[in-house]
């Protein structure tokens, strides 16, 4: 199985500042026949199910604020929250769906 490793495990960011979460896969999740990276990002707030934020590494799900963006290709990916809001406090997970789905361990985002 592809191992997904996120960094950092947690971060504290001031309101309005940028938050950056990294995700590295143990093998490429880029499918050259269609030029897609099979990588998604989810947000999970306490007591709630995960919510899809980003798919194909950089496509924002409908209704997701544009302060959330995804980038990267191959094995290295980033989720960026450009201006952290109080409602963004959550655990964020990356997930690959190139093969048997696997998730990163999660990154907890808090307010500094």
Partner 1 sequence: EVQLVESGGGLVQPGRSLRLSCTASGFTFGDYAMSWVRQAPGKGLEWVGIIRRKGYGGTIEYAAAVKGRFTISRDDSKSIAYLQMNSLKIEDTAVYYCTRDMAYGSGSYGRMDVWGQGTTVTVSS
Residues 9-38 that bind partner 1 (CB under 8 A): 38
| 32 contact partners, CB below 8 Å, separation of at least 6 | none
Alpha-carbon Rg for the chain in angstroms: 13
Choosing from 22, 28, 82, 105, the residue that interacts with partner 1 (CB under 8 A) is 105
Q: Helix H segments across 1-112?
A: none
Burial class (CB in 10 A: 0-12, 13-18, 19+), 108: middle
Residues 32-91 that bind partner 1 (CB under 8 A): 38, 40, 42, 44, 48-52, 55-56, 61
For residue 15, the minimal CB distance to partner 1 (Å) is 26
Chain residues binding partner 1 by CB under 8 A are 1, 38, 40, 42, 44, 48-52, 55-56, 61, 93, 95, 97-106
């Amino acid at each position: 199985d592809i191992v997904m490793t996120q960094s950092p495990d947690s971060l504290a960011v001031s309101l309005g500042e940028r938050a950056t979460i990294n995700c590295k896969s143990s093998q490429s999740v880029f499918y050259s026949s269609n030029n897609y990276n099979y990588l998604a990002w989810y947000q999970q707030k306490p007591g709630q199910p995960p919510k899809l934020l980003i798919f194909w590494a950089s496509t924002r799900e409908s209704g997701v604020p544009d302060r959330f963006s995804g980038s990267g290709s191959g094995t290295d990916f980033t989720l960026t929250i450009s201006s952290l809001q109080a409602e963004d406090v959550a655990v964020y997970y990356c997930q690959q769906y190139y093969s048997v789905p696997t998730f990163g361990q999660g990154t907890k985002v808090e307010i500094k």
